[in-house]
Amino acid sequence: MDSKADEYQPPSWACEPSLRSCCLKVTKNGSVIDKVRDVSQQICTVFGRNVKLCDVILQHPSISRQHASILHGSSGNMYIIDLGSSHGTFINKKRLDAKRRQVLRDHDKIRFGASTRTYVVVLKDDDWDEQENFESHSRSNGRKRREKDRTRTFDRNDRRSKRQKQEKDLETVRCRHILVKHIESRRPKSWKDMAVTRSKEDAMDMVKDYREQINSREVSFVELAKKESDCNSHSDGGDLGRFGRGKMQKPFEEAAFNLAIDELSYPIETQSGIHLILRTE
């Protein structure tokens, strides 16, 4: 018998989704046969074979009881975690390490076990119907109760806050970044321009465009940093080396420490300008 104790509990960093129009397109033999919109509705969506413990039921015999979960983080990204499945979870044909989160990018292809179905990540679904979204969410009373239960589990994490703070004080990360300065920056000049005159809005648009180029694999982060970053680290591909807490401006620090390894941030605003951050270690 499956008990509440068997149910997967999301980690403390998981939060309400900001990607409200994301979904997974389910394809088989090259044709779209379904969409999974649960991933835009809740903190955590569990995939697996067990009807009592999972949100999305997978029927293939290679699927584990609780196979994998998709979650949302405070950085605005969506992640997938293999829950120690017997036959693995695959992103673009590469098997994931169990129990380690992996950021999901637009058009990533997910496979569970030996199932022939492919789940294609869509971060913004143009066919999204807000009314359908609302009604579907309203009908999911059972899922709402589960979400409340998950929220209660976060309260237990508060009791560990002191220990976690001590661990964070010792934590370091390594990142690359691309900085785009604007006329309101603390020092509106760079190695490229003696006087930066672009507006903050233009700088933000530029960083959003760089992010799209990197996610679509049109260009590498290092190439863009060398060519476009207004920081002196441009010559090293934006590499800032390892740093601990208290070394960077607060918004930059919070974003960097919330990223998973190889995860790309959304645009981050500091007094220096607009940043795009890639955590490397």
H-only helix segments in 229-269: 250-258
Residue 22, pLDDT score: 92
Residue 150 reports pLDDT greater than 70: no
Same domain, 154 and 175: no
* Separation of CA 17 from chain center: 10
Same domain, 242 and 191: yes
Provide the number of structural domains found in the chain.
2
In 3D, which of 125, 119, 93, 76 has the Cα closest to residue 264? 76
Rounded to the nearest 10 degrees, what angle do helices 141-158 and 161-170 cross at? 70
Same domain, 237 and 148: no
Same domain, 184 and 268: yes
CATH assignment at residue 131: 2.60.200.20
Q: Answer yes or no: are the C-beta atoms of 12 and 258 closer than 8 Å.
A: no
Same domain, 125 and 190: no
- Point out the residues that are catalytic: 177, 231, 249, 272, 275
Determine the structural domain holding residue 101 and report its residue range: 4-158
Same domain, 124 and 203: no
Residue 131 reports pLDDT greater than 90: no
Residues 168-210: pLDDT tens digits? Answer: 555 788 999 999 999 999 999 888 878 899 999 999 999 999 9
C-alpha span between 17 and 109 (Å, rounded): 20
In 3D, which of 221, 235, 196, 202 has the Cα closest to residue 276? 221
Confidence class for position 132, pLDDT limits 50, 70, 90: very low
Distances (CA, A) of 128 to 56, 72, 123, 131, 138: 19, 19, 11, 9, 16
Residue 76 reports pLDDT greater than 60: yes
